[in-house]
Amino acid sequence: MPALPAPDLYAGSPYLRELRNTLVYGEVWERPYLSKRDRSLITIAVLQALAREELAIHIPRGLDNGLTPEEISEIILHVTFYAGWPTGVQASLTAAEAFEARGVTLGDLPRAPDLEEAVTTPGGLS
C-alpha cells in the first residue's frame, strides 16, 4: 500500500504545535528523571495500548533515542497481551514500515514456533 501524504496535524489548531514544541518536547522530554530512551519506551507502549496513529512518529524517534529494533519488537509483544491483539497487529505493521524506511532489521530474534510445535511442547499452548 503506498504511503499517504502526512496531514498537517495542527492545521486546525496551530497553537497545539507550539505547545507540542515548547511544553511536550521542550520541557517534559527534557526533564532529567528519565532518559529520552526510557521516555520513548513508555511512549511507544502507551500509544500502542491506545491504538494511536502517532505511534508511526514515535517508533522512529525511539530508534533515534537508542531503542533497538529488538526492544521495540518486545515492547509490542508485551503490550499486546495487556492491550489486545489488534493493537499488537497494528503496532507490528507500523514498526515494520518504520524499520523498512530506515533499512533496519530485527537481527537475531528467535523465530516463532510453528503452531503444531507450540501446542505439543512443554510451555506451549496446550
Question: Angle 55-64/36-49 helices, nearest 10 degrees?
Answer: 160
Largest CA-CA distance found in the chain, in angstroms, rounded: 57
Q: Does 71 fall in a domain?
A: yes
- Cell representation of residue 102: 530506515
- Rounded to an integer, the average pLDDT of 88-104 is 95
Q: pTM for the full model?
A: 0.79
Binned at pLDDT 50, 70 and 90, residue 105 comes out as: confident
Q: Does 39 fall in a domain?
A: yes
Q: Does 101 fall in a domain?
A: yes
CATH number at residue 91: 1.20.1290.10
Average pLDDT, the chain: 87
Count of structural domains, the chain: 1
Binned at pLDDT 50, 70 and 90, residue 27 comes out as: very high
Domain that holds residue 25: 14-120
Binned at pLDDT 50, 70 and 90, residue 119 comes out as: low
Q: How far apart are alpha carbons 41 and 63 in whole angstroms? A: 10
Q: Does 7 fall in a domain?
A: no
Of 32 and 4, the structure prediction assigns the larger pLDDT to 32
Q: Does 109 fall in a domain?
A: yes
Q: Does 125 fall in a domain?
A: no
Q: Does 5 fall in a domain?
A: no
Q: Does 8 fall in a domain?
A: no
